[in-house]
Amino acid sequence: MAGKTHLLGLQAAQFRHPLDRQATQALQQLPGLDLALRMVMGPVAEQVFYLDNIASSLQISDRQVPSLYHSLVEACEILDLEVPQLYLRQSPVPNAYTFAMRGKQPFVVLHTALVELLTPAETQAVIAHELGHLKCDHGVYLTLANLLTLAASQLPLGEVLAQNLQSQMMEWVRCAEFSCDRAALLVCQDPRIVASLLMKLCGGAPSLVPELNLEAFLEQARCYDAVSDSQLGDMLKQLRTQGLTHPVPVLRAREIDRWSSSPEYFALVKANPIGYNGSSSPGGWRNW
């Protein structure tokens, strides 16, 4: 843990991406939905997920795969967040997700294929990304996005309505991912680690890891930016991303690279006005 800045008293507003902030403020204008989701859906959803996790996954602790547990604890200390439950699930698909509606039984799930693909530092960055969802309290609106889309599909003219709702909500979901990538960077405190795991999720395989080139991947991100130089290219990019739950990996890598050299990031991690170097006491459901 030595050498990393621990952000005692960190607030989500200090690292939340501007697009996430704007979209969240718009959703907060919907009266009563936040409370209804927390009170009605929260208790049921938490119990369903808890039962599924303890029945079908390995619960990580200081006695069960302690290396992953200590990685979780350190990430929580850095982000000034209570330690949630962590589960490891057997799956050939590299993925991770989290859920919290009332904050009583928050959890993070990692797939085994993800752990096999990434280095320990990259795995911790994924854990931190999921913790970012908890820190930013994304669970309520992520659940709302799923419920609205499901309800719209059951109504008259539901297909058209569902498309409109899905477009609006998926835009917020994609914005939320940028904030969580920032949480990952706050924990690993090295933008190359975040970019490297995005590269591997984009097209990596354990057998090919020695041949992967991060600089080439970042150049690829710049090529993606250049597509917007033409009106047609920009339109095609927008059409391609409308239905996605995540921004494309090259865009996420570019965003985190930019934020890592910003005064905002420097103030949090380098100058560290709200924290200190050393350990502190550890105080929606979204795929990586």
| pLDDT tens digits for range 190-203 | 999 999 999 999 88
Flag the least confident range among 78-92, 110-124, 157-171, 245-259: 157-171
Flag the least confident range among 93-97, 113-117, 227-231: 227-231
Catalytic residue among 130, 171, 211, 215: 130
From 257, 262, 179, select the one nearest 225 (Cα to Cα).
257
Beta bridge partners of 277: 5
Residues of the domain holding 94: 5-287
Has residue 225 got a pLDDT over 80? no
Q: How many helices (H) and strands (E) does the chain have?
A: 13, 7
Q: What integer is the mean pLDDT of 40-45?
A: 66
pLDDT of residue 269: 84
Has residue 42 got a pLDDT over 70? no
Q: Is 130 a known active-site residue?
A: yes
Beta bridge partners of 176: none
Dist. CA 231–CA 279, nearest whole Å: 50
pLDDT of residue 156: 53
Kindly report whether the global pTM for this prediction surpasses the value 0.75.
yes
Task: Label each residue of the chain as H, E or C.
Answer: CCCCEECCCCCHHHCCCHHHHHHHHHHCCCCCHHHHHHHHHHHHHHHHHHHHHHHHCEEECCCCCHHHHHHHHHHHHHHCCCCCEEEEECCCCCCEEEECCCCCCCEEEEEHHHHHHCCHHHHHHHHHHHHHHHHCCCHHHHHHHHHHHHHHCCCCCHHHHHHHHHHHHHHHHHHHHHHHHHHHHHHHCCHHHHHHHHHHHHHCCHHHHHHCCHHHHHHHHHHHHHHHHCHHHHHHHHHHHCCCCCCCHHHHHHHHHHHHCCHHHHHHHHCCCCCEECCCCCCCCEEC
pLDDT of residue 283: 27
| pLDDT tens digits for range 237-278 | 565 555 555 678 888 998 898 899 999 999 998 755 433 333
Q: Which amino acid is at 168?
A: Q
Q: How many domains does the chain have?
A: 1
pLDDT of residue 194: 96
CA-based end-to-end distance of the chain = 24
